[in-house]
Amino acid sequence: MTTTATPALRVQGLEKAFRELPILRGVDFDVPAGTIFALLGSNGAGKTTVVRILSTLLRADAGSATVAGFDVATHPAEVRGSISLTGQFAAVDEILTGRENLVLIARLRRVPEARAAADTLLHRFQLSDAADRRVATYSGGMRRRLDIAMSLLGDPPVVFLDEPTTSLDPQSRLEVWRSIKDLARHGTTVLLTTQYLDEAEQLADRIAILHEGRIIVDGTLAELKALMPPTTVEYVEKQPTLEDVFLAVVGASPTSKEQP
């Protein structure tokens, strides 16, 4: 995993209100390049508002933000050329095949050798066997993996994933987690918003909690755990969770491949 001295994302004093209702009240954080940064918060905390500002879809009322070294307010075109955004629902065309979706986006982004680029991503996201099937036949996890693959066409250095596993079953969530980890391994900077604590725990290099418009904690998982009182050691019988049971029954594991 690579990092640089200059953060891939820098947010300072970000403020935003809607109809005089404050949503962001001075948000600050930095994200080193090539890392996964998880922004946690309940519904309405302002996570999506932060993403919309950083992706130039919304203007902040105050504060500043840079993405890949470009100011989102003064250089929005350069910011858009440096990012990709995946929302809460997969933006794929169900009539087209997986390969056709990728080739279409590749051509729109003027990626050289669009078909070769599509085939590379199909292989990387374990979708080659389903490449020529219509997306309408894909499972939720397959659609989300295709959606993330489409977001990588053109090799953007920064990717925003806004609650990417919303409404997915446990098996599909594990598949998407594997794909997100793969992004950072290839040097992509990932800003992940989520409501799921286990998701942040599994994926993130750093975690920030957004509450009532402010970042109240920001650090590694170990640093956040250190905020809690010392624990006492007790020996208890560990019972399997419902997710453990589900995955065992369906024969899935974090490294298993989904059958087309």
Lowest mean pLDDT segment, chosen from 3-7, 11-15, 146-150, 184-188: 3-7
For the chain, how are helix, strand and coil distributed in percent, rounded to 5? 35, 25, 40
Q: In this predicted structure, what is the pLDDT of residue 158?
A: 96
For 126-180, the three-class secondary structure string (H helix, E strand, C coil) is CCHHHCCCEHHHCCHHHHHHHHHHHHCCCCCCEEEEECCCCCCCHHHHHHHHHHH
| CATH superfamily to which 9-82+156-250 belongs | P-loop containing nucleotide triphosphate hydrolases (3.40.50.300)
**pLDDT band for position 105 (50/70/90)?**
very high
Q: Which residue has the higher pLDDT, 236 or 79?
A: 79
pLDDT of residue 259: 44
Residue 85 β-bridge partners:
160
| Beta strand segments in the chain, E | 9-18, 21-31, 36-40, 62-67, 70-71, 83-86, 158-162, 189-194, 206-211, 214-219
| pLDDT at residue 96 in the model | 96
Assign 42 a pLDDT band (cuts: 50, 70, 90).
Answer: confident
pLDDT for the residue numbered 254: 47
> pLDDT at position 3, please?
43
What the block records as the tokens of 43 is 């519904």
The domain limits of the chain are 9-82+156-250
Backbone phi, psi, residue 202, to 5°: -75, -30
| pLDDT of the residue at 249 | 61
Can you give the pLDDT at residue 2?
45
